[in-house]
Amino acid sequence: MPAPFEIEVEELDSRRKAGDDALVLDVREAWEYELCAIDGSLHIPMSGLPGRVAELPKDRDIVVVCHHGGRSAQVTMWLRSQGFGRAINLDGGVDAWARRIDPNMKVY
């Protein structure tokens, strides 16, 4: 069964609290990642991903994150075209995470 294309921040939060080993891949620019990031996420800016795609696992879910979900949706589609069938977009991005999960996280 293929992974869903997108998940909500609440689902990612509950999966992480339950010990799910999904990789959170943050594709924002370095300055954005320095402002705020989901704990434990792997930072590879969107522009650098083609050169680093071999670092990603194909045997676990990869939840792709950006600011609001637009860039990460593009990356999710690209990853799926590269054979990463378990790539999933985080709906609303870090902005939704900050507003609905982690009120201490900076928003921008």
Q: Catalytic amino acids?
A: 66
Find where tokens 């930072």 sit.
43
Instruction: At 39, give phi and psi (nearest 5°).
Output: -50, 135
Are 44 and 52 in contact by the 8 Å Cβ rule? The answer is yes
Q: How many residues comprise the chain? A: 108
